[in-house]
Amino acid sequence: MLLRNQVEWALHCCAVMVGMPAERFLATKVLAEFHEVPKEYLSKALQSLSQAGIIEGTLGPNGGYRLAKAPSEITFLDVVEAVEGRTSSFACTEIRRNNPCRPTRMRDPKPCAVARVMWEADAAWRKTLRGVRLSDLAKTLESDIPAELAAKNTEWLLARS
């Protein structure tokens, strides 16, 4: 069970956008070159984010994407679910219905104990992701990344928009 690498790309792109001056758009091409990932494929991830209302895009020269909301209004879960989907990691096939002893017309009042536990774990995973916002990430990166490098990154990105 592995998350798509688009999740990583999407999160990094968001991290980059948080550091950009408001109203400025970043083109897919620039983001792809910055991370050295295939432009066309990264585009799909950004489209997912756009569709989810996390970022917004504009066309034409100087076009691209920017955050559609305040960084404090965007959680990790928003980003992850936009590209990975909202379905639980545990899929229930209802194999208990195959039980040969079970009366054919028996009704299942509720999801079985196994599924409930697995879904609870999935909820805990999502709760953790929902608890971290892009604004939190920005603050962490501020102390993680040397100010000099951060400035150089912003400059590099803006020069190509």
Partner DNA sequence: CGGTTACGGATACTTCGTATCCTTAAACCA
Partner DNA sequence: TGGTTTAAGGATACGAAGTATCCGTAACCG
Contacts with DNA, residue ranges (CB under 7 A): 1-2, 4-6, 27-29, 37-38, 40-41, 43-44, 46-47, 50-51, 56-65
**Which residue in 32, 22, 103 sits closest to 56, CA to CA?**
22
Query: Which of 34, 47, 50, 57: binder of a copy of itself (CB under 8 A)?
Result: 34
Residue 114 touches a copy of itself, criterion: CB under 8 A: yes
For residue 130, the one-letter residue type is: R
For position 159 contacting a copy of itself by CB under 8 A, the verdict is no
- The site for ligand SF4, by CB under 6 A, has a size of 11
Cα-flanking dihedrals φ and ψ of residue 160, to 5°? Answer: -105, 15
* Cβ distance to DNA smaller for residue 43 or 154: 43
User: Angle at the Cα of 111 (from 106 to 113), degrees rounded to 5?
Assistant: 110
Sign of the CA dihedral with 11 first, then 48, 45, and 14 last = negative
| Residue 134 neighbours by CB under 8 Å, 6+ apart | 14, 15, 18, 67, 71, 72, 74, 75, 76
Q: How would you label 51-62 residue by residue, b for 16+ Cβ within 10 Å and e otherwise?
A: ebebbebeeeee
- Contact pattern for a copy of itself over residues 93 through 112, marking x by CB under 8 A: x-xx-xxxxxx--x---x-x
Binding-site member from 38, 53, 111, 131 for ligand SF4 (CB under 6 A)? 111
List contacts with a copy of itself (CB under 8 A).
1-5, 7-9, 11-12, 15, 33-37, 76, 84-85, 87, 89-93, 95-96, 98-103, 106, 110, 112-114, 117-118, 120-122, 124-129, 132, 137, 140-141, 144, 149, 152-153, 156
